[in-house]
């Protein structure tokens, strides 16, 4: 790793995407229903789901070596953690398994891992410098059950096809918050090149969720703030990206499209301007269907070094 590729400063990330007629993150312990906060009615998506999106994209489209993925054995079964570790040259007797993994696997450099090495052996624990909280919808969501006809019969003697059931949401807009810790990046060897692939993986990976339950995901807004001063960060900048219904009279009504929302970056812009001397740069990607109120985008572009991401 060259000195220019080292990560020396902290970053914060806000990622907004929406889901239409799909299951954003089914709960396997609840019939694969979308995950709903019963007290607020908000839908949520785990960080594990988001990381899988990034991993799948980097493995499939960027030819990156990934540790945590489904790898099949010759008999068609999925490899265990210790078997995948052995593929990468890590065994219970390895003296520097962490360095071996971080040297090969971008997802370990990004997210770390907890890798079992076999019965009687301690798991290999690596804390990742990039972490996300659970994504939450910015509005209430009502899951629905959809029934249909399956492709095949349920019994050998049946003249009719069986039925299938799916849980989905008609629409949900999610907001994720993430942080990149420069101290942990130094331990895993995470580079600026890796970080650029993470940003691409968030956007393009969400676009390319093509399974039947996930088709209908669309990235809408991606922001990364990089700071100048070591260990400094503003914190929880996702709360400074505000999303409200365009028509206040419809505030409590169901939502079906991103065009029904106004996005405001004014609170984020204000606090960034207040800490202007501590901001190194801003990465930004805005979907064409997102309506951002006011002139905050122009203010940011004029006051800071802003890279408008495009892939």
Residue 54: how many other CB atoms lie within 10 Å = 27
For residue 173, what are the domain limits?
Answer: 3-308
C-alpha 152/C-alpha 131 separation (Å) is: 42
Q: What pLDDT score was predicted for residue 1?
A: 67
C-alpha 302/C-alpha 172 separation (Å) is: 33
Residue 13 predicted with pLDDT over 70: yes
pLDDT confidence bin for 157, thresholds 50/70/90 = low
Number of H helices, E strands in the chain: 8, 15
Q: What pLDDT score was predicted for residue 204?
A: 97
What would the pLDDT profile of 197-256 be if each residue is shown by its tens digit? 999 999 999 999 978 778 899 999 999 999 998 889 999 999 999 999 998 777 777 899
Please say whether the beta carbons of 102 and 111 come within 8 A: no
Of all residues in the chain, what percent carry a pLDDT higher than 90?
A: 73
Residue 51 predicted with pLDDT over 80: yes
Residue 79 predicted with pLDDT over 90: no
C-alpha 54/C-alpha 49 separation (Å) is: 9
Interval 30-45 mean pLDDT: 95
Kindly report the pTM of this predicted structure.
Answer: 0.92
> Which positions ≥6 away from 164 have C-beta within 8 Å?
147, 148, 149, 150
The rounded radius of gyration (Å) of the Cα atoms in the chain is 22
Closest listed residue to residue 181, CA positions, set 239, 114, 132, 113: 132
- Overall number of domains in the chain: 1
Q: What pLDDT score was predicted for residue 76?
A: 81
C-alpha 88/C-alpha 83 separation (Å) is: 9
Residue 158 predicted with pLDDT over 60: no
Q: Which residue has the higher pLDDT, 69 or 76?
A: 69
C-alpha 87/C-alpha 97 separation (Å) is: 12
The chain-wide mean pLDDT, for the chain, equals 91
Q: Which residue has the higher pLDDT, 52 or 163?
A: 52
Please say whether the beta carbons of 217 and 207 come within 8 A: yes
Q: What pLDDT score was predicted for residue 120?
A: 73
Residue 264 predicted with pLDDT over 90: yes
Please say whether the beta carbons of 12 and 225 come within 8 A: yes
C-alpha 308/C-alpha 311 separation (Å) is: 10
What b/e sequence results for 177-200 when a residue is b if at least 16 CB atoms lie within 10 Å of its CB, and e otherwise?
Answer: bbbbbbebbebbbbbbebbebbbb
Alpha helices in 1-158 (DSSP H): 47-61, 81-87, 97-104, 106-111
Please say whether the beta carbons of 228 and 279 come within 8 A: yes
What would the pLDDT profile of 178-203 be if each residue is shown by its tens digit? 999 999 999 999 999 999 999 999 99
What would the pLDDT profile of 268-307 be if each residue is shown by its tens digit? 999 999 999 999 999 999 999 999 999 999 999 999 999 9
Closest listed residue to residue 100, CA positions, set 80, 114, 121, 86: 86
Work out whether the CA dihedral 141, 147, 151, 153 comes out positive or negative.
Answer: positive
Q: What is the 8-class DSSP label of residue 35?
A: P
Q: What pLDDT score was predicted for residue 15?
A: 98
């Amino acid at each position: 790793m060259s000195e220019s590729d080292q990560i020396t400063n902290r970053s914060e990330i806000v990622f907004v995407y929406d889901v239409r007629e799909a299951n954003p993150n089914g709960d396997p312990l609840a019939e694969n229903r979308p995950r709903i906060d019963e007290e607020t009615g908000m839908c949520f998506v785990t960080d594990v789901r988001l990381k899988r999106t990034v991993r799948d994209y980097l493995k499939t489209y960027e030819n990156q070596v990934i540790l945590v993925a489904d790898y099949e054995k010759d008999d068609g079964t999925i490899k265990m953690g210790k078997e995948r570790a052995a593929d990468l040259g890590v065994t219970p007797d390895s003296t520097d398994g962490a360095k071996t993994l971080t040297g090969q696997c971008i997802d370990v450099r990004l997210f770390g891992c907890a890798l079992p090495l076999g019965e009687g052996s301690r798991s290999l624990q690596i804390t990742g410098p990039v972490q996300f909280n659970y994504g939450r919808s910015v509005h209430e969501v009502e899951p629905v059950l959809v029934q249909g006809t399956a492709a095949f019969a349920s019994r050998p003697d049946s003249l009719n096809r069986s039925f299938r059931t799916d849980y989905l949401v008609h629409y949900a807009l999610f907001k994720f918050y993430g942080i990149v810790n420069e101290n942990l990046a130094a331990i895993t060897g995470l580079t600026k090149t890796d970080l650029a692939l993470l940003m691409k993986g968030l956007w393009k990976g969400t676009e390319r969720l093509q399974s039947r339950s996930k088709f209908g995901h669309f990235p809408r807004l991606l922001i990364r703030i990089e700071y100048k001063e070591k260990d400094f960060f503003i914190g929880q900048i996702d709360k400074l990206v505000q999303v409200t219904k365009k028509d206040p009279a419809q505030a409590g009504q169901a939502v079906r499209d991103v065009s029904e929302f106004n996005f405001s970056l004014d609170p984020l812009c204000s606090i960034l301007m207040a800490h202007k001397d501590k901001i190194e740069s801003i990465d930004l990607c805005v979907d064409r269907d997102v309506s951002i109120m006011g002139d905050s985008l122009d203010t940011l572009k004029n006051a800071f070094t802003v890279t408008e991401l495009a892939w």
